[in-house]
Amino acid sequence: MSTWEATGVGSHPGEDHLEAIRVVFGEVPGLPYLPELPARGVGADMVGRTAALLVDLPVEVQPSGWRLADRPGRDHQRAVDHLRRDLDGLEEIGHDYTGPLKLQVCGPWTLAGSIELKFGDKMLSDAGAVRDLTASLAQGVAEHCAEVRRRLPGVTEIVLQLDEPGLPGVLAGTVPTASGFGRLAAVEEWRVEESLRSFEDPVVHCCAPGVPYALLRRAGVRAVSVDAALLRRRDEEELGELFEAGTALFMGVVPGRDTRLAGPGVVAKPAVELWRRLGFEPDRLAAQVVLTPACGLAGASPAYARAALAACRKAAQVLRDDPREG
């Protein structure tokens, strides 16, 4: 894991997928990823893009958002086409790449809180529907990973990231009903744990407050991806247990939108200081902490997106060289 150093969360600005892939492979060569470009519209957004992977659960866009459909239609096809074009670009630019590759999909709980049943509330309101959704997603993701391996035979491992910004709300019972007038019931932690085990060794990304670290550790995820600005002192005991279990932390240390970027030592500082407070051996820091932007880069300029990834990579060098000097 120590060679990963730095990576991105997933989304990029603009509509030029080839350029976004070039930037990723150029700036974070330790753990490049397939970037997502939501500015392309319907089907390129997080939910639509992931829905394109679902097996036997076609979706369509309604005024209220994504909804299950009787059969695949234009919206579903548009999402499939975006993904196929991205994979073609990945194959073109990464054809001789050797090493790990990260793929991002919307996790089952955020997806269930975003997609409506054909005649009713969100899928999250129906435990059976969530089970079906999780199984469909797990199968679709496995097929997606297999296709990427076929297209890029030099990939040594696929690092699967589940984007779960909605997970704290799912657990707290704050997800609004489809009408917006009520709230869906809180989901028991064991259900979430069980669902995450349907995916092979995932990284779980959550850029919302209230990340359930203990739950994710129990579920056996390989890494948790968070915005460093949202880390609280009261989280540190659970973070310590996470590190002791061998889990990695993807730490968001540069803003996702245009700003003036600090030098590598300042960017690395949140990771170095957290590690010091927890009292772990300095030489383990670079092996268990991967630096990233705070969240996706879709709201940034293309020039900033490139600079943000470069800043994470340079700061990761600080963790590796001598974290005590951070």
Over the stretch 261-295, which tens digit does the pLDDT of each residue have?
Answer: 999 999 999 999 999 999 999 989 999 999 999 99
In the chain, % of residues over pLDDT 90: 93
- The predicted model gives 98-102 an average pLDDT of 97
Residue 12 in domain: no
DSSP E strand boundaries for the chain: 59-62, 65-68, 99-106, 155-163, 203-205, 223-227, 248-254, 289-293
Is the confidence at residue 3, as pLDDT, over 80? no
Task: Give tens-digit pLDDT for 181-216.
Answer: 999 999 999 999 999 999 999 999 999 999 999 999
With bands split at pLDDT 50, 70 and 90, how would you rate the model's confidence at 324?
low
Residue 145 in domain: yes
How many angstroms separate the Cα of 157 from the Cα of each of 7, 129, 248, 295? 15, 31, 16, 23
Is the confidence at residue 2, as pLDDT, over 60? no
Residue 115 CA neighbour count, 13 Å, CB half: 32
Task: Give tens-digit pLDDT for 6-59.
Answer: 999 999 999 999 999 999 999 999 999 999 999 999 999 999 999 999 999 999
The residue range of the domain holding 284 is: 17-325
Residue 7 in domain: no
- The predicted model gives 88-97 an average pLDDT of 97
How many angstroms separate the Cα of 217 from the Cα of each of 127, 248, 251, 277, 297? 23, 10, 16, 20, 27
> If 0-12 CB within 10 Å is exposed, 13-18 middle and 19+ buried, where does residue 188 land?
exposed
Residue 290 in domain: yes
Residue 117 in domain: yes
Residue 282 in domain: yes
Q: Work out how many domains the chain is built from and give that number.
A: 1
Residue-averaged pLDDT of the chain: 95
Residue 3 in domain: no
User: Among residues 2, 3, 10, which one has the least CA distance to residue 292?
Assistant: 10
Whole-model pTM over 0.75: yes
- The predicted model gives 65-86 an average pLDDT of 95
CATH assignment of the domain containing 159: 3.20.20.210
The predicted pLDDT at position 326 comes to 43
Residue 80 in domain: yes
